[in-house]
Amino acid sequence: MDFQLTEEQLAVQAAARDFAQNELWAGVIERDEHQKFPAEQIKKMGELGFMGMMVSPEYGGSGLDTVSYVLAMEEISKVDASCSVIMSVNNSLVCWGLEKFGTEEQKQKYLTKLASGEIIGAFCLSEPEAGSDATMQRTTAEDKGDYYLLNGTKNWITNGSSASVYLVIAQTNPELKSRGINVLIVDKDTPGFTIGPKENKLGIRGSDTHSLMFNDVKVPKENRIGPDGFGFKFAMQVLAGGRIGIAAQALGIASGALELSLKYAQQRKAFGVEIAKHQAIQFKLADMATEIDAARLLCLKAASDKDQQLDYSKSGAMAKLFSSKVAMDSAVEAVQIHGGYGFVKEYHVERLMRDAKITQIYEGTSEIQKIVISRELLK
């Protein structure tokens, strides 16, 4: 087994780290404080190829592998998890889904702009009564012949007001249950589509999260992705890949917490010496580093499985389950290592702690990941 990264992968990692440190770090506290969407930073990420990393150059993407995507996600997430979740949704859920299952016309019309970062997309699955249980869709897409009439509400939508293109999961044939669900491409300016107020969140405050309302929205039949009834399968397949991106985000948050803790521990003195020389702090740092390396290996294993076209359902769920726990644990320890300074914003670790929690919730809670893992084990 080769644990060495290729020169191209190392170059991607270095470019992402350079961008995060030089372009994201300076304003990250202000963006978090004021819930400011990082529009300028996301535009630059598009120019650098980070918004369509796995998309073929034929459609404006970077044509990179999933391992490179994980490496870039980790570096961006070390500094600003709000930027990385915007990047993750656009890459893993929207671009990948369109390239994998969309028609050539859909790819030319939407994917090229999404992959280049000219526009960004949103994935709309969750509802007030359909979060983890994706089969319970209350949003309906009534077949009207040459178009669908879309009605319903979506909750917790990342890029809710900043996206230009929305992939909406809706029920067309309730009697068929999961086999009656479709996925439709909805343009932002479509009549009857409205965006609710921004959610005031605990973490990832720079990303814009909204509820979306659809009131007799006419969606042309050509905007359906895949055959009739493919929507549930589409959602499950893109979410399986999405878990890898969120696992990498969690890994980045944990890595960022460790880097800040190492730096602080070598500067802060207590009882006449740097606190890094105290065994209690050394034990914390050692535990953090060990768990982070284990999480990184799980993330890279899942990414490698995807690149080799192997089944990555289990490895992706394992990576997401473990990495999100490590993110939360590492961020809490980072605050503890910083002591009172860890409780104030200027030292960044309190923000990492707030950001870490969401990695245990979206793309399926930890309990959902355990269900996926056990299902694969019991096959």
Residues classed as catalytic: 363
Coil, strand, or helix at residue 181?
strand
Coil, strand, or helix at residue 188?
coil
CA-based radius of gyration for the chain: 21
DSSP state of 278: S
C-alpha pair distances (Å), 279 with each of 102, 263, 273, 291, 338 = 56, 16, 12, 18, 15
Q: What is the 3-state secondary structure (H, E, C) of 51-104?
A: CCCCCCHHHCCCCCCHHHHHHHHHHHHHHCHHHHHHHHHHHHHHHHHHHHHCCH
Residue 276, token pair as written in the block: 């890094």
C-alpha pair distances (Å), 119 with each of 103, 186, 351 = 19, 14, 28
CA distance 297 to 202: 29
List strand residue ranges (DSSP E) for the chain, in order. 121-124, 140-143, 147-158, 165-171, 181-187, 193-198, 209-220, 269-270, 273-274
C-alpha pair distances (Å), 177 with each of 133, 230, 241 = 12, 12, 24
Residue 103, token pair as written in the block: 């028609």
Q: Would the CA dihedral through 36, 37, 40, 44 be positive or negative?
A: positive
CA distance 328 to 330: 6
CB 376 within 8 A of CB 314: yes
Q: Which residue has the tokens 């909805």?
A: 186
Phi-psi region of 197 (alpha: psi -120 to 50; beta: other; left: phi over 0): beta
Coil, strand, or helix at residue 216?
strand
